Amino acid sequence: MARYVGRRLLELVPVAFGVLLVVFIISHLTPADPVLVILGEHASPATVERLRAELRLNDPLPVQFVRYVGGVLHGDLGRSIKQNERVTVQLATRFPATFELTIAAMLIASAVGILTGVVAAARQNSWFDAVSMFAALVGFSMPIFWLGIMLILLFAWYLGWVPISGRLDYTIELTRLTNFYLLDALLTRNWAALGNAARHLILPAVTLSTVPLAIIARMTRSSLLEVLRQDYVRTARAKGLAERIVVMRHALKNAFIPVVTVIGLNVGSLLGGAILTETIFAWPGMGRLVVDAIFARDYPVVQGTVLVIALLFVVVNLLVDLSYAYLDPRIRYG
Amino acid sequence: MNLNQRVARLAWPVIIVVVSFMLAPTASVGAPMSSSWDAKACGRVGGTLVFAQGDDPDGLDPHEVTDGFSVNNVSNVFDTLVRFTADSTQVEPSLAESWTVSADNLVWTFKLRKGVKFHDGTPFNAEAVKFNFERQTVEKHPYHPRAVGYADFTFQNVKSVDVVDEYTVRWNLSAPYAPFITNQAMFATGIVSPTAVKQYGQDFFKHPVGTGPFKFVEWIQKDHVTYEANRDYFAGRPCVDRLIIRTIPDNTVRLLEMERGTVHIIIGVNPPDYDRIRRNAELVLFTGAGLNTGYVSMNTEVAPFSDRRVRQAINYAIDRSSLVNAFYGGVGIPAKNPLPPTIWGYADKVQAYEYSVDKAKKLLAEAGFANGLTTELWWPNRARPYLTQPQKIAEALQAQLGLAGIQAKLVTYDWGTYLSKLRNGEDPMAIIGWIGDNGDPDNFLYALLDKDNAVRGKAQNYAFYKSDAVHRLLIQAQRVGDQATRAQLYEQAQEIIHRDAPWAPLVHASRVSAYRKDAQNYLYHPLEITWLHRVWLSK
């Protein structure tokens, strides 16, 4: 097991290198010039040239790449071209916002999705099955942008139960230790901030959870139905076990492998940021960071962000693979 | 501030200006007698004002930033030597109480206001002005910012700055340049605290220290910036105690926040929401003429647009009024000149090319395109104030040109790429526009239509329009000091440009903003910059 984990972690190295290389090439091959984006319309050609030289953008691409990788190996992701801020600092403020949102959304999606899937499978062809699976289809096809605005209109604008946008009211003081607001509020025992941050989190998390929730519900249902048809389930039923115990204790765990895979993939991709949800709810996460950086040709930010996202994806997938061994004792890693 | 102080504050600049007029051996440039902003008194003092816009500032160092979101921030923190009046692009004294210019228009001398302090408590004086100039223009200056977007523009023709005494600075120009004084009112010439620059170094952009009405408190990136009132502000403390500038990217969500009362003022409103705001008794929709021009630039160096008749045909083929109604919520102005009518020197006597498909076809036939022609129409994949809905406007233009027999294929790129390609002259015909920086005609006509700026690779004259007659007029207008003479020269230039038709001017979009009625005294400035020190909250 330890060897397996070690080997998988070692795989991070070629993945990271590959990601760096591909992103570096793609971002530098697209036309447009970050220097012009920063300096605007009024800078003289001499100023443009000077800044380009200062940022060492005139060096041959392989030289720039080697220099960049050298920096990365020393934990230095460079400075944002647009903002002159360290990329690591930008990531450290943005990633926690995305992480909180992702975890909240996936908790909702997993809890509601699995529960719905299980009930729908246990009562196959019932009205609940039909309605919930139809709802899942609608949820999956829902334009996030529209859904977000509708939720805001109803719950924030009309009913006033939750705030419309943002991560924390500006009236709330919070000592930002980690930039994970919920955690910071807990650490500093700032209950006002905790409640406020949690209320801000609800609508974006619900919006973001819709699509994964629909997938998880449908996946749980179909996987569970398949398991319920297996011989050992028939044996369990033949023993006279209550249906609830058959489903919950004997079938569910085995049905989980594809569900966990889906959850893992969704966590991985949501950690990369959710540009639409972040835009609607003015959520300062990774999605807006990377999209802004792409438009500004801010190479170091694009590279740094994609690198972190890729590594997170690999780690999440490793955790998913490890969970297989727990869910299915026949699976062993060695 | 009591009445005596107020009168004294108004009187001193007047006395100084009058005395300097009497004593000055050189030609004086008029300085208004008192600040136009003083008319906007605070009805109530206190409270927290919340302003919301679509994006975060890039930074808070006025010498570095170029984007409007940053400008709305730095304009409230930093002062300039002169400033724009409350509702026009004319300038009046600010950190400088008065100024004179030599007879040859080469030496400008500014008398500085005494007793002004930066937010860090250090004094504002002539050395600070010199430091600010050199920080931006001397490459080897130890505190030269990494990216200086505007200095080439704001300090063009400036050779050096001399400290005459603690409160007098002298600017030496290499050639007469009339827009110099207007440029000294631009946000980019905001005076930063030398002490703070030395203290924060590269990180000054997130620790701004100026002399302005608001002091920086904190910046939570992509969320909000907090400021507090500078109670010692030389022009009187701001009406509110705190100012929050929030970032809310989505236009609809920003409006919903204002409707709920969590935001007082917004900029960036979707035209379909104009009526929703007008119907709401608690809100006001602000519209005023804008300082911008959206236009179609035709590359005069390549066929078929090297033929003036084809360019004129394009002008006749466009129905500008329908564009304004369909895509600008009916609040824009159809354009006939490169200059917007908000700027002095606008040539109103120019007769617009009316919408006439027949005239367009006739001109095309004369140019040898009786059966129509095929070309490309480029459009930028990013909404701008003068181009509210780029794709839809491009499609509408495509359809209008089609009626005149011009089959235009639509081509687009992202913003950065788009500008680079336009600078290289790779487009035959492109939709683009310009937002004025300082309200001077030179900022439109020389920047966008002079042959000096038609150099491939760095052109802002995207039409590559090279008229010697226009060039002579524009250069002459830079060298004379008198505004009336300058205005005449610009009007003549616009008539030639109209005839040559390197552009099809489309529209001057209005400046649009919305605010809650309890935010009193708010005015969205013609320069599309938001100054907030005179806004007060009635509840």
| Rg of chain B (C-alpha set) | 24
pLDDT at residue B223, rounded to an integer: 93
Distance (Å) from the alpha carbon of A286 to chain B's nearest alpha carbon? 11
Grouping H, G, I as helix, E, B as strand and the rest as coil, residue A200 is helix
DSSP bridge partners of B288 = B511
The architecture (CATH level 2) of A95-327 comes to: Orthogonal Bundle (1.10)
Contact A166 B66 (CB under 8 A): no
Q: Look at residue B101 and give its three-state secondary structure.
A: strand
Cross-chain Cβ contact B221/A284 below 8 Å: yes
**Residue B1: its pLDDT value, please?**
41
Where are the CATH 3.90.76.10 domain residues in chain B?
76-204
Whether the pLDDT of residue B8 is over 80: the answer is no
Domain spans in chain A, listed from the N-terminal domain onward: 2-73, 95-327
- Within chain B, which residue ranges are assigned CATH 3.10.105.10? 292-509
At A231-240, the pLDDT tens digits run: 988 998 898 8
Q: How far is CA B472 from the centre of its chain?
A: 25
Q: For A52, name the nearest residue in chain B, comparing CA atoms only.
A: B147
Token pair in block for residue A20: 């760096």
So what's the pLDDT on residue B7? Answer: 43
Two tokens, residue A79:
């400075």
Q: What is the pLDDT of residue B13?
A: 46
What HEC string does B290-331 produce?
Answer: CCEEEEEEECCCCCCCCCHHHHHHHHHHCCHHHHHHHHCCCC
- Residue B294 dihedral angles phi and psi, to the nearest 5°: -95, 135
Encode pLDDT of B214-265 as tens digits. 999 999 999 999 999 999 999 999 999 999 999 999 999 999 999 999 999 9
- Nearest CB among B206, B246, B416 relative to A37 is that of B416
| Mean pLDDT within B146-154 | 86
What does the pLDDT read at residue A334?
Answer: 62
Q: Is the pLDDT of residue A215 over 50?
A: yes
Strand-pair category, B406-413 with B373-380: parallel
CB contact under 8 A, A84 and B147: yes
CA distance A306 to A299: 11
Q: Is B447 exposed, middle or buried (0-12, 13-18, 19+ CB in 10 A)?
A: buried
B53-71 average pLDDT score = 92
Tell me how close the Cα of B139 comes to any Cα of chain A, in angstroms: 9
Which position has the token pair 């794709």? B391
| Residues in a beta bridge with B266 | B52, B514
ipTM: 0.89
DSSP string, B402-458: HHTTEEEEEEEE-HHHHHHHHHTT--SEEEEEEE-SSS-THHHHHHHH-GGG--TTT
State the average pLDDT over residues B301-321.
96
> Considering the domain B41-56+221-289+513-539 in this protein, what is its CATH number?
3.40.190.10
- B260 contacts A152? CB cut-off 8 A: no
Which of A102-106, B178-182, B270-274, B385-389 is the least confident region? B385-389
Q: Are B92 and B8 in contact (CB under 8 A)?
A: no
**Which residues make beta-bridge pairs with B162?**
B170
Report, in angstroms and rounded to the nearest whole number, the Rg of chain A calculated over CA atoms. Answer: 24
Closest CA to B248 of B50, B509, B60: B50
pLDDT over 80 (residue A11): yes
Q: How far apart are CA A163 and CA A165, in angstroms?
A: 6
Give the residue from B51, B55, B223, B251 with the most A CB atoms within 10 Å of its CB, the best one to mutate: B223
- Asked if B259 is an interface residue toward chain A (Cβ–Cβ < 8 A), one would say yes
| Cβ atoms within 10 Å, residue B142 | 9
Q: What is the DSSP letter of B187?
A: G
Looking at CATH, the fold of the domain delimited by B76-204 is given as Dipeptide-binding Protein; domain 1 (3.90.76)
Calculate the average pLDDT of chain A: 89
Q: Which tokens go with B299?
A: 């590359």
List all residues 6 or more positions away from B223 whose beta carbon is below 8 Å from its beta carbon.
A166, A167, A168, A282, A284, B56, B246, B247
Q: What is the pLDDT of residue A51?
A: 83
Q: Does A284 contact B147 at a Cβ distance shorter than 8 Å?
A: no
Give the one of B146, B223, B416 whose C-beta lies nearest to A166's C-beta: B223
Burial A301-331 (b: 16+ CB within 10 A, else e): bbbbbbbbbbebbbebbbebbebbeeeeeee
Distance from CA of A42 to the nearest CA of B (A): 6
| Interchain contact, A45 vs B419, CB within 8 Å | no
Q: Which of B64, B256, B414 sits opposite A295 (nearest CB)?
A: B414
What's the pLDDT at A154? 96
Whether the CB of B148 is below 8 Å from some CB of chain A: the reply is yes
Is A54 touching B (CB cutoff 8 A)? Answer: yes
> For residue B48, which residues of chain A lie inside 8 Å, CB to CB?
171
Is A25's pLDDT higher than 50?
yes
Domain with CATH 3.40.190.10 in chain B: 41-56+221-289+513-539
Among A243-252, A288-297, B29-38, B336-345, name the one with the lowest average pLDDT: B29-38
For B149, the closest of A43, A46, A279 (CB atoms) is: A43
Whether residue B11 has pLDDT greater than 90: no
Q: Tell me the per-residue pLDDT of A256-295, one tens digit each, with 9 for 90 and over.
A: 888 999 999 888 888 877 889 999 999 999 999 988 888 8
Q: Mutation test of the interface with chain B: which of A30, A35, A39, A41, choosing the one with the most B Cβ atoms within 10 A?
A: A41
Contacting B residues, span 402-421, partner chain A, CB-CB under 8 Å = 413-417, 419-421
pTM: 0.86
Instruction: Kindly report whether the peptide bond that precedes residue B57 is cis, defined as omega within 30 degrees of 0.
Output: no
Which of the listed CATH numbers 3.40.50.1860, 2.40.50.140, 3.10.105.10, 3.30.70.260 matches domain B292-509? 3.10.105.10
Give the closest-approach CA distance of A46 to chain B in angstroms.
9
**Contact call for residues B433 and B387 (beta carbons, < 8 A):** yes
Q: Assign B34 a pLDDT band (cuts: 50, 70, 90).
A: low
Reported as a single tens digit per residue, the pLDDT across B428-459 is 999 999 988 888 999 999 999 999 999 887 78
Which of A327, A284, A321, A297 lies closest to A8, judged by CA? A321
Confidence of residue B426 (pLDDT cuts 50, 70, 90): very high
Cα distance from B412 to chain A (closest Cα, Å)? 13
CA distance B154 to chain A (A): 9
What is the distance, to the nearest Å, from the Cα of residue B282 to the centroid of all Cα atoms in its chain?
30
B262/A51 touch (CB, cutoff 8 Å), yes or no: no
**Looking at CA atoms only, how far is residue B216 from chain A in angstroms?**
15
